[in-house]
Amino acid sequence: MTGMAMVLRGRSWLVTLAALLVLVAVNGVLQPNLFTGNVLKSNLTVFLPLVLVAIGQTYVVLAGDIDLSVGAIIALVNVVTVAVINAVGNGVGAVLLGVTAGLLTGIVSGLFNGFLVAVMRFQPIVTTFATGIIFSGMALWLLPTAGLPVPAVYWRTYSGSLLGLPVTLWIFALALLLVAILVRRPFLTHLAAVGGSRTGAFQTGLPVARIRIQGYVLAGLFSAFASLCLTGETASGDPLMGRMLALSSISAVVLGGTALAGGSGSAFGSVLGALVLGMIGNVIFFAGLPFEYQTLVQGLITLAALAGGILVARR
Amino acid sequence: MPPALKAHGVTKQFDAVVALSNGALTVEHGEIHALLGANGCGKSTLCKIIAGTVLRNGGSIEVDGAPLVPKGPADSEAAGIALFYQELSLVPQLTVAENIYLGHEPRTAAGFIDHSKLQADANALLEQFAAVAGSGLALHSLVARLSPDQRQIVEILKVLARRPRLIIFDEATAALDRRQVEFFFRMLRALKAQGVSMIFISHRLDEVFEICDRITVMRNGETVATFSTAETDMNRVVHAMVGEMAEHLHPPHVERPPGEAPRLIVEHASGQRLRDVSLMLWPGEILGLGGLQGQGQSALLRGLFGADPLASGTVSLGNMGLRLRKPADAVHHGIAYISGDRGRDAALHGRSIFENIAAASFIRERRVLVWPIRLAERFRQAAASLNTRYPGLEEPIGSLSGGNQQKIFIARWLATKPSVLLLDDPTKGIDLAAKADFFDLVRGLAAEGTSILFYSSEDAELLGLCHRILVFNGGAISAELSGQALTALNLTGAAYGNAA
Amino acid sequence: MNRIKTLLAEPLVLASIAILVLLAAGELLSPGFARGDQITRLLTVAAILGIAAAGQSLVVIGGREGIDLSVGALISLGALTAGNVMSGSNGAILPAVLAAGGVTFAIGIVNGLGVTALRIPPLVMTLGMMGVIQGGLVVLSRGAPSGNAAPMLMSFVNQPLLLGLPGILFVWALIAVAMWFLLRRTSFGYAVYAMGSNERAAALTGMPTSLLRTLLYGLSGLFAGLTGVCVIGYTGNSFISVGDQYVLPSIIAVVIGGVSLAGGAGNYFGVMLGAIALTLLQSVLTTLQLEFWGRQIIFGAVLLGLMLLYGRQKQLRV
């Protein structure tokens, strides 16, 4: 099987792609300036965090687990990053140190989740629900209220351009590259094997616990990426950041054709799923739906996506 | 040169049950060696010990003259031993090629999966086997989309990809048709020419005689004989499996009580593991379902109970046609099902003995309100009729031994006063005393007019209890034994497809 | 020694000890903590949590990773519905209770259908439903607090009714009896334990497991709706996120009370003790002037600790 076929495994992502194209078309009609550079860039800025979390969530779900703490990890990473930058001083070096601390926070959070689930054999759903509460408690502890700005060099870089292209586009491209690299590693096959048939993977001699932990670490790492992007957007610390992203990331993963039971799916599908969710938000906004209805419609679409995704996967 | 494998005096005990008292087996290099014996003779246990998935209690195993003491499957694999899993170890969501090389993927220098090498290796492997696999088996198709026989082929390829020196094939041909078996054998001969040794377990004696060099027979946990295939015949092998004693042991033969009309009539029942089964069951009759394990006996019982509904066929009780779509349908018609897999199918873990007995009666009686004190006496009687020893109805089910637990689950169904009792290998893992009680009970129920369909993986149980035995092979009834024909020899012969 | 160990592993004993220790700690930290009127106040708060936890315990006992994360949003919805139907009039209390319970029961049934017919994992289904209800609440209330409690309801919840105890405590006692009757004196209850303990075995005795499970989620919704009525009685009016604070405590109370997250074990009396213990813990933490974040971390840690005691999964074997 070729690499390309590996990437596009399964067919359900095709439906998602079609939905995305339709949404783009509708959005284009409602908002004629959609295809101008600035509007595209601002859209990408809005969508990027969910795209990144959804990629991370995919690896956990592929292994047959779930991570409900990604939203809280985002808040914690944001707060740690901002706190470290402010503590060290607001120079470029401080920013780099803060970003490193943020990434480490994401990885350690993932390790903690993975340890509890794969080694201690706690039930993944309730465990990550509980660790999520602990992570967000820690974020509130470090930074009780939103505030504490990041230095201009941080958000100017994030909203700026590199070689004529927006930095957000570079990040998006790098994320896709990372996904492409992972697709070609044996690790991804092993992840899917663990999710598809845990006993089969065990009988074959795969280190099941280690593989599941690696999935959680990836989720933590991608959540950290998402958090750093959100920080570039809001330019400040916010202990409540990313609260809705756990559920949205699961929806994006399901919309992208990854089975919640594990074993099949792809991170590229999740990227499409995340973009679809983002475009739905756009269309609702530009369709002139009253503000109050937006949460409801988005909630209904999320639920419908979950139900539909599961029904499609079962066929 | 030392033999490829030499096992000697191997013993294994599971709790109180001795599974293996003296397992011995010698396999030469490049030899295909059959391991035969009736159900429960210990052949599977011996194979699992060699493959490292079960740890032995005593005895010695040597591979190429070097002692082997595996602590897990990895140790045996390192010694070049591969076990072909009867229970599939495949991941349905992965492709054929990915499954074959799972955990052993060829990598490029950068650590990526080397897809071209994977492709080439898999192709080369598949080419050896192309004729068997047929044109339908594409390397990039998902295992979930394959038919059972194709999956079996992938499982075989997965074993071969690890380049073992000794392969244990446990019922590897079960899902293959005759043409595929021939190609499979061709491949075995090619492996043999390369010096690979094989242990071959099959329920088809003709296959054994076609492919194997020697045959080792086990009985009651012991190795009893080794034959050279060229110098023996099927009858002698079957005799060895049954044993001198059993051969002359005719069960106390009882005629079923003369019945007016059949109570249960099954016509052309088919399902995933069932091919066109028809039978009649009279009131007071104990009808045995014989044959080797997994030949459709359980599928029939579960189908008749509505647990895994039959795909086609008709079932009638008395003169009434039944629609058995879910267990409740069967329960309301007075059909009861007792499984030998208590932990999975019957035990309400952590719940009281009372609740475990009462469960089915509530459904049968369409009960809404429950007054435990008023019901207790009834359930106490149901349990007492089975000689069950238990501390009290409120104690948790886990406080009982396996045998007494099974009695509780039997009491659960007796309390519903069933007219048809489906027994699915019900004595698995219970001790001899409990078994004896159980047989008395079944005889008693039959004498009172209950119709009983009885599947057991132990031939002696069937012979000791049944009025008639239907022998299953590959999902269909291959023979019916009754009257003077009810002998161990006939039963084993029929199970192995050897016309008695 | 061994007997003490097994006794301590008994959730009811553990919860009772926790209650006594917390009471003593509270009294030590702030004299008067364990006074009669304080305890009545505390029991009132515990009753509201306890009623929400009644529904939660049903879905957890029913097994297959049963959990209802939508209780918080359903409580808010119940409070909003009741408040708007009552709008301060004593005569409309009964219709308000019926309306709140009816709406939340129906939504609970939808949860149940998602879990049984579509086989969506309960946590994901109810989390998704939570989002939908919250969106619906925004539409219904247009963001502003609306509806208010009838005076009679407020005094029923807050003022002494009989023997110096507020009416809500009698309702809680009534619910306790109802839960006991449902679980221990009807075949429905026996079937709930059976399928929570071993769904396959329960189905093999002919129990209609999908139907029962759907009903359990409906009941969880119903109890959340009733909790909503109590909440609006307690606070006087409602806002759209008033129920959110009950989600996590309802789960923890259930687990402290000895209901295994694996299903099939536990009873409502344990859950009541769990609700009281948790309310005490909250109160002690408040006395300690521990901030929100500290309480969050402690709650999360308590939940993880309880998982260690009761919630581990089987090891992989060949």
Task: Identify the band that residue A77 occupies on the pLDDT scale cut at 50, 70 and 90.
Answer: very high
User: What would the mean pLDDT of C128-141 be, rounded to a whole number?
Assistant: 88
Shared domain for B346 and B400, answered yes or no, is yes
For the stretch A221-253, pLDDT in tens is 999 999 999 998 888 888 888 877 888 898 888
- C169 inside domain: yes
Q: Does B73 touch chain C (CB under 8 A)?
A: yes
Shared domain for B140 and B289, answered yes or no, is no
Shared domain for B27 and B69, answered yes or no, is yes
Residues of A in contact with C127 (CB under 8 A): 68, 247, 250
- C183 inside domain: yes
Residue among A121, A141, A292 whose CB faces C312 most closely: A121
Q: By C-alpha distance, which of C303, C316, C307, C239 is closest to C73?
A: C239
Residue among A185, A200, A203 whose CB faces B112 most closely: A185
Q: Write down the pLDDT at residue A304.
A: 81
- C264 inside domain: yes
Q: Is 70 exceeded by the pLDDT of residue B255?
A: no
Q: Inspect the interface and report whether the beta carbons of C187 and B362 lie closer than 8 Å.
A: yes
Lowest-pLDDT range, A290-299, C74-83, C110-119? A290-299
Q: Is 60 exceeded by the pLDDT of residue B470?
A: yes
Q: Is 70 exceeded by the pLDDT of residue C217?
A: yes
Helix (H, G, I), strand (E, B) or coil at B56: coil
- C218 inside domain: yes
Residue among C128, C138, C294 whose CB faces A295 most closely: C138
Who contacts C137 (Cβ-Cβ below 8 Å, separation ≥6)? C73, C76, C77, C80, C240
Q: Inspect the interface and report whether the beta carbons of B113 and A204 lie closer than 8 Å.
A: no
- C165 inside domain: yes
Q: Which of B247, B277, B306 is the last residue of a domain?
A: B247
Shared domain for B321 and B177, answered yes or no, is no
Residues of A in contact with B102 (CB under 8 A): 189-190, 193, 201, 204, 206
Shared domain for B223 and B253, answered yes or no, is no
Task: Identify the band that residue C211 occupies on the pLDDT scale cut at 50, 70 and 90.
Answer: very high
Q: Which of B204, B228, B247 is the last residue of a domain?
A: B247
DSSP-derived letter for residue C166 is: E
- C8 inside domain: no
Shared domain for B323 and B181, answered yes or no, is no
| A129, two tokens | 């629900």
Number of domains composing chain B: 2
Instruction: Quickly count: other Cβ atoms within 10 Å of residue A307's Cβ.
Output: 19
Q: How far apart are the C-alpha atoms of C124 and C147, rounded to whole Å?
A: 31
Residues of A in contact with C67 (CB under 8 A): 125-126
Return the number of CB contacts < 8 Å for A and C. 145
- In this prediction the ipTM stands at 0.84
- C16 inside domain: no
Mutation to test the C interface, candidates B370, B374, B397, B412, most C Cβ within 10 Å: B370
Q: What DSSP string describes B312-346?
A: EEEEEETTEE---SSHHHHHHTTEEEEES-HHHHT
Higher pLDDT, B493 or C271: C271
For the stretch B192-228, pLDDT in tens is 888 899 999 887 788 888 899 999 999 888 898 899 9
Q: Write down the pLDDT at residue B129.
A: 67
Task: Identify the band that residue B236 occupies on the pLDDT scale cut at 50, 70 and 90.
Answer: confident
Q: How far apart are the C-alpha atoms of A211 and A62, rounded to whole Å?
A: 11
Mutation to test the B interface, candidates C204, C215, C314, most B Cβ within 10 Å: C204
Q: Which of B247, B278, B306 is the last residue of a domain?
A: B247
Reported pTM: 0.80
Handedness of CA C275, C276, C279, C284 (dihedral sign): negative
User: What would the mean pLDDT of C90-111 be, rounded to a whole number?
Assistant: 93
Shared domain for B130 and B151, answered yes or no, is yes
- C98 inside domain: yes
- Segments forming the whole domain that contains residue B71: 5-247
Shared domain for B17 and B39, answered yes or no, is yes
Q: Are the CB atoms for A239 and A75 separated by under 8 Å?
A: yes
What distance in Å separates residue C89's CA from the closest CA in chain B? 39
Task: Identify the band that residue C318 occupies on the pLDDT scale cut at 50, 70 and 90.
Answer: very low
Residues of C in contact with A137 (CB under 8 A): 292-297, 300
Each as own residue / partner, the long-range contacts of residues B115-122 (CB below 8 Å, 24 or more positions apart, any chain) are B115/A1, B115/A2, B115/A3, B115/A6, B115/A184, B119/A1, B121/B161, B122/B96, B122/B97, B122/B157
Shared domain for B214 and B102, answered yes or no, is yes
Number of domains composing chain C: 1
- Segments forming the whole domain that contains residue C189: 34-311
Q: How far apart are the C-alpha atoms of B87 and A214, rounded to whole Å?
A: 28
Q: Inspect the interface and report whether the beta carbons of A197 and B97 lie closer than 8 Å.
A: no
Shared domain for B196 and B254, answered yes or no, is no
With residue C161 as reference, give the H or E element that holds it: strand C160-162
CATH of the domain at B92: 3.40.50.300
Q: Does A130 touch chain C (CB under 8 A)?
A: yes
For the stretch B347-379, pLDDT in tens is 998 899 999 999 898 888 888 888 888 888 888
Q: Inspect the interface and report whether the beta carbons of B348 and C264 lie closer than 8 Å.
A: yes
CA angle B474, B476, B479 (to 5 degrees): 105
Shared domain for B212 and B67, answered yes or no, is yes
Shared domain for B256 and B268, answered yes or no, is yes
The residues that bridge with B274 in the sheet, in sequence order, are: B271
